[in-house]
Chains A and B, each alone.
Chain A
């Protein structure tokens, strides 16, 4: 007898709305100017957010649990939508200067957002993989969309290494399935306890392959090599997207897999802590020696991966909350910094750090905003980046990883130095001619920057506005199906 599949429309709604935006951009691109499409897509993102708010606390699922619209998905989904909206807003002002102002840009971006949401909403490994592939493929296209050598290099590098990462990931999925006989996160978590010794070996192998695959996607050392080249070669609005939304989605996948399905599986945590230690050391040390601001932000993205991944080592209740809090803050501050670079750079190479000298006296608003973002990235209170770091340290510390949190603290000192230098240069008086694009301050970018700065300031002074939502341990216990 034919079984009717378990299809519910409601949990899929946030994803379908974004997909509709992507399809609309594909089709309507022949008839409408790009700006109109971008505005349609922004509306779609808002609608998707509204539908997520509607799904809050419903715990809805579709396809027999393959798609989960639980609260974790919604919290991560909202972070993704905010990052995507900021990208679209920035692209309104800067895409034509980067020569990527055509409908395909919007279409690919919205397809990528569809993929990222699918990861956040995934209930089993296959759904997650499909989301990851949609996201990655669109990401490769976005990185190479601009007609220039650096963009081609960036796209190709991203594609080759990303494809290798995906292959490893799929292999890991196969192993995990082989060991547990389940693809569903809750199913895997339920079966990890009573495995035969042979199967435990396979599970550990699968978990490590999954870890390596994800490490490619989130740029954990030693799988980070593509990151600086891709981020600095791609158009800046694309770098913004890749370093915020795509990273959030990859971490959402990690949270689902390692914080949920493999929560009690042995082996991966000890390897992860070594990867994190390497990331903290190499990411922060390499950032110290950058002379190009955009490239420094790329390395800083690697360094932040280390801090973010610390949360995976915490207990699910503390770690999940810490990661979700940190991801939103990270998105806000990174997106605002890239937005300012996109607005003020003369070419897509970004700006040299020395060019920032005296920026405060030429563009006071943007300079103060950038300083706030950098202070927040460095983890200085009263900005929200501090609480992100604090939560990450706490999650790792309380779960027994004391040496790693000490290392993270020392790495933060290096981080402060490389964030401080550009931030302080901006306030030093300068008598040489301006070296940035003079007419960069435009409404949509300004709005994005204001959103980021107000966000990190308000959430820094009143962290509870966001942490209050993510703190409920029930949300993170549910990841493992409990």
Chain B
């Protein structure tokens, strides 16, 4: 079932190419829903244990996959948000066949990233998800997309090629027979080599978190993507750095993570504050949300790097659910753009004519800036709580960004949705048909997991404990 869940979207994506034009929306929606359903079935069944076969025996590469704990949570969120993205793409884009196909292909890459339990397989999925993201930007992007494309791809590959070397090194120096995670943990690398290899691995993850100073691709990527925000949803899901660090980084490089902890936590706290500060100055909604997302990623990184149980649980919780509300915000911006023809933050007065759109956006913004009762709060608060026990001052610096968050979020909201509608502006329509679902479902998820976090915590907590226990106690 797990293999079906991983590869079903890819099959669907290929199937779309052969489907007549008018059925493509339905087929894509069906495939995405089916994938989500499979994910829920796996969840009901208590997760999928490690499945392992040899892929390239001569090189010790295995096809090992599993979905449990953190990876299952993230896979479910990915399937859910891909479904929402498909729903909105089908509605918003005329002749959306190519876009739907790319969304589904990317979903396979992302699910593969979360399911992989072999380091080289992880790398393969990690890079495979890059191609659809690039193609979406190339086909549907805005005029300056070539620059954004090259930046995005070069940053990603810069990190991941260094990671590839460190993958080779982990196996070579540790003497493990295969690249399977279980075998690599059995044969750890000792001493200074571990630190160097961790830095190589970190390069890829820092680009994909993203972490200052390797974040510069992110705002351009979002700004130049299609107005609808569908590629941005997938791009948000692709920020898997925090997960990679948690699943592979901590178990494989325990001493190095301990050793570099203060520096990395410092970088993370700085990222959170710096991004929130920059976000305040943005006048483009997409860049604004990109920086807001970057600020959240600073929190995720802070949690993971702190090696503290509470903080790591919070980081994973935040990583999972920021996908939901950040993604939905990108779609809300897409709807705004469809109505007023701009993603500028000084449109003014949209609320007077499109109350539901404004209300939904505000609620999602609240989730994003960690208002209690919404999913963002649980994650950010746990991160701060845990990080405080390790590095109080750094936690304080990161905590400052929650103030900045309120400032950038509410200012932008005010100048777009409140204030007066300019004279002679076109009438703005309110939410219609599936748009209610597209924003309503993620909001419902954000509210539900803000109030009742047990289902997700039951998945995340044991996994985090397992990983941190391997580090030799906390």
Whether A468 and B58, one on each chain, are in contact in the complex, defined by CB atoms closer than 8 angstroms, is: yes
Q: Is the C-beta of B248 less than 8 angstroms from some C-beta in chain A?
A: no
Task: Determine which of A380, A412, A463, A467 lies in contact with B130 in the assembled complex, contact meaning CB atoms within 8 Å.
Answer: A380
The distance in angstroms between the C-alpha atoms of A471 and B169, with both chains bound, is 20
Is the pair B157, A406 in contact by a Cβ cutoff of 8 Å?
A: no
With an 8 Å Cβ cutoff, the count of chain A residues facing the other chain is 33
B161–A410 touching, CB < 8 Å = yes
The answer to whether the Cβ of A478 comes within 8 Å of any Cβ in the partner chain is: no
Q: Which residues of A lie under 8 Å from residue B15 when comparing CB positions?
A: none
| Known contacts A464-B56, A464-B57, A393 near B153 by CB under 8 Å | no
Cα–Cα, bound, A343→B334 (Å):
41
Contact with B along A427-450 (1 / 0, CB 8 A): 111000000000000000000000
Once the chains bind, are A394 and B130 in contact (CB under 8 Å)? Answer: no
Complex contact A427–B135 (CB within 8 A): yes
Q: How many residues of B contact A (CB 8 A)?
A: 32
Chain B residues with CB under 8 Å of A417's CB are 150, 153-154
Given A397-B169, A467-B56, A467-B58, decide whether A424 and B161 contact each other with a Cβ distance below 8 A. no
Q: Which of A298-325 contact B (CB under 8 A)?
A: 321
The digit string for A314-342, where 1 denotes a CB below 8 A from any CB of B, is: 00000001000000000000000000000
CB distance from A268 to the nearest CB of B (A): 24
* B residues near A429, Cβ cutoff 8 Å: 139
Is A428 within 8 A of B138, CB to CB?
yes
Interface string of B126-155 (1 = CB under 8 A from A): 011011001101110000011001100110
| B138 and A427 contact, CB distance less than 8 A | yes
Q: List chain B residues, Cβ under 8 A from A471.
A: 58-59
CB pair A409 B139 closer than 8 Å? no
Q: Report if B165 contacts A (CB, 8 A).
A: yes
Q: Is A57 an interface residue (CB 8 A)?
A: no
Beta-carbon contact of A424 and B146 below 8 Å: yes
Interface of chain B, helix or strand or loop or mixed? helix
**B146 CB contacts on chain A under 8 angstroms:** 421, 424-425, 428
Task: Say if the beta carbon of A416 comes within 8 Å of chain B.
Answer: yes
How does the 8 Å CB contact mask read for A379-407 relative to B, with 1 for contact and 0 for none? 01110001000110110011000100110
A-B contact count (CB 8 A): 88
In the bound complex, residues from chain B placing their C-beta under 8 Å from that of A382 are 124, 128
Query: Given the complex, which residues of A lie within 8 Å of B161, measured CB to CB?
Result: 409-410, 412-413
> How many Å from the CB of A453 to the closest CB on chain B?
14
| Whole-angstrom CA separation of A409 from B154 in the bound complex | 12
| B158 touches A (CB below 8 Å) | yes
Dominant SS among interface residues on chain A: helix
Q: Assuming A424-B134, A463-B56, is B139 touching A393 (CB within 8 A)? A: no
**B95 smallest CB distance to A (angstroms):** 13
Q: Known interface pairs A417-B150, A424-B146, A428-B139. Does A409 touch B172 (Cβ–Cβ under 8 Å)?
A: no
Whether the pair A464, B149 counts as a contact (CB closer than 8 A) is no
Q: Are B59 and A467 in contact (CB under 8 A)?
A: yes
With the chains together, A410 CA to B128 CA distance in Å?
Answer: 19
Closest to B59 in A: A467
CB of B43 closer than 8 Å to a CB of A: no
CB-CB nearest in chain A for B151: A417
Contacts of A420 in B (CB 8 A): 134, 149-150, 153
Encoded as 1 (CB less than 8 Å from any B CB) or 0, chain A from 453 to 478 comes to: 00000000001100110010000000
Min Cβ gap A371→B in Å is 8
Q: Are A409 and B165 in contact (CB under 8 A)?
A: yes
A338-383 CB contacts (< 8 Å) to partner B: 375, 380-382
List B contacts of A402 (CB < 8 A): 165, 169
Asked if B123 CB lies within 8 Å of chain A CBs, one says yes
Q: How far is the CA of A20 from the CA of B123 in the complex (A)?
A: 48
Shortest Cβ distance from residue A134 to the other chain B in the assembled complex, whole angstroms? 35
| Cβ A398 vs Cβ B131 within 8 A | no
Residue B55 at the A interface, CB < 8 A? yes
Q: Do B172 and A397 touch across chains, with their CB atoms under 8 A apart?
A: yes
In the bound complex, what is the Cα–Cα distance between A97 and B222 (angstroms)?
A: 45
Of B55, B139, B153, B165, which one neighbours A427 at CB under 8 angstroms? Answer: B139
Which residues on B sit within 8 Å (CB–CB) of A416? 153-154, 157
What chain B residues lie within 8 Å of A397 (beta carbons)? 165, 168-169, 172
Q: Give Cα A421 to B134, complex, Å.
A: 11
Of all A-B residue pairs in the complex, the 7 with the closest CB atoms, nearest first, are A471-B58, A409-B161, A424-B138, A381-B124, A427-B138, A413-B158, A416-B157
The residues of B with any CB-CB pair to A shorter than 8 Å are 55-59, 120, 123-124, 127-128, 130-131, 134-135, 137-139, 145-146, 149-150, 153-154, 157-158, 161-162, 164-165, 168-169, 172
Listed A/B pairs (7) with beta-carbon separation below 8 Å: A380-B130, A386-B127, A390-B164, A397-B169, A417-B150, A424-B149, A467-B56
